[in-house]
């Protein structure tokens, strides 16, 4: 039986644009109230206004997810406004494209700080509070299809997303007895600001790798991911994939690593032919 989402409260990081913003609106359409986090006040306020226009409540918490105490601030904001939270979606993250051997240690650590450590801290703090209150809930992280296979230059990003994937699987088993669901979300290429942010980060490091994340026909809109997240909230699933074909290909590449090498070579050859 599908779970009702009406009047449930969701906390979303990275909610000022892309998947986070689309998920906030999709959850509002499903009857949920939202607590939004992001670094851009104007964009965050715009998303909050759209949520309120749908007749739902929205609270904003501006700041970087790596700031000390941010997990507590987000959870406290939910309690201050609603007296509870039911869902936490750790969505904030970024990527860059740089050969592993040329990636400065500081940048490797920072991408893990944002993508993995901040997200894990938020979900663990949320789990502890839900357990203390003897309430169930649903915790999600926005991982990636690149959690289970990778592409040239994306080692740091893929490694951080793989870490997210594994911590979600382990947390799901750890928290099952408390009635807390845990899911990892695995989008394919999505029309967000990911490529622009990754391009800036890579150029700062002197990178000159072509910034292609896949052909246009393989790109999805953030609304596609948002709808998949809402479906998972209604019918909890360990993993949320937005493309069956990519999920199948990921499984094949795990079984046969040489296939991943072949796909990478074909992709590099295609990029080299582009003007």
Q: Cα separation of 221 and 153, whole Å?
A: 24
Residue reference for tokens 């090498």: 261
Q: Tell me how far the alpha carbon of residue 168 is from its chain's centroid.
A: 12
d(CA 211, CA 77): 38
Whether residue 92 contacts residue 37, with contact meaning beta carbons closer than 8 Å, is answered with yes
Strand order in the sheet with 9-12: 58-62, 33-38, 9-12, 87-90, 137-142, 180-186, 239-241
Residue carrying structure tokens 């309120």: 52
Q: What's the token pair of residue 101?
A: 């051997």
User: Is 157 among the residues known to form the active site?
Assistant: yes
Name beta bridge partners: 62.
Answer: 38
Of the residues 85, 157, 194, 241, which is catalytic?
157
User: Residue 103: what are its φ and ψ, rounded to 5°?
Assistant: -85, 120
Closest CA to 95 of 16, 171, 217, 189: 189
DSSP state of 14: S
Residue ranges in the chain assigned as alpha helix (H)? 18-29, 41-53, 70-82, 105-112, 118-132, 155-175, 194-204, 222-234, 244-255, 257-273
The catalytic residue positions are 157
């Amino acid at each position: 039986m599908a779970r009702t989402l009406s009047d449930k409260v969701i906390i979303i990081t990275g909610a000022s644009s892309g998947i986070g913003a689309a998920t906030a609106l999709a959850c509002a359409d499903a009857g949920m109230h939202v607590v939004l986090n992001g670094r851009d006040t104007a964009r965050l306020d715009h998303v909050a206004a759209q949520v309120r226009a749908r007749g739902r409540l929205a609270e904003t918490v501006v700041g970087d997810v790596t700031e000390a105490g941010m997990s507590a601030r987000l959870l406290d904001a939910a309690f201050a406004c609603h007296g509870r939270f039911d869902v936490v979606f750790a969505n904030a993250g970024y990527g860059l494209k740089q050969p592993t051997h040329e990636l400065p240690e500081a940048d490797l650590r920072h991408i893990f700080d944002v993508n993995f450590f901040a997200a894990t801290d938020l979900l663990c703090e949320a789990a502890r509070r839900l357990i203390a209150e003897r309430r169930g809930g649903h915790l999600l992280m926005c991982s990636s299809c690149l959690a289970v296979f990778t592409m040239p230059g994306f080692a740091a990003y893929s490694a951080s997303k793989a870490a997210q994937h594994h911590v979600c699987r382990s947390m799901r088993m750890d928290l099952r007895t408390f009635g807390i669901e845990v899911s990892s979300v695995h989008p394919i290429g999505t029309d967000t600001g990911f490529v622009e942010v990754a391009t800036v980060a890579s150029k700062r490091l002197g990178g000159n790798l072509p910034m292609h994340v896949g052909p246009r026909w393989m790109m999805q809109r953030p609304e596609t991911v948002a709808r998949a997240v809402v479906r998972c909230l209604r019918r909890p699933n360990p993993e949320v994939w937005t493309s069956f074909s990519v999920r199948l290909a990921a499984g094949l590449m795990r079984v046969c690593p040489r296939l991943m090498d072949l796909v990478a070579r074909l992709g590099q050859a295609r990029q080299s032919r582009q003007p």
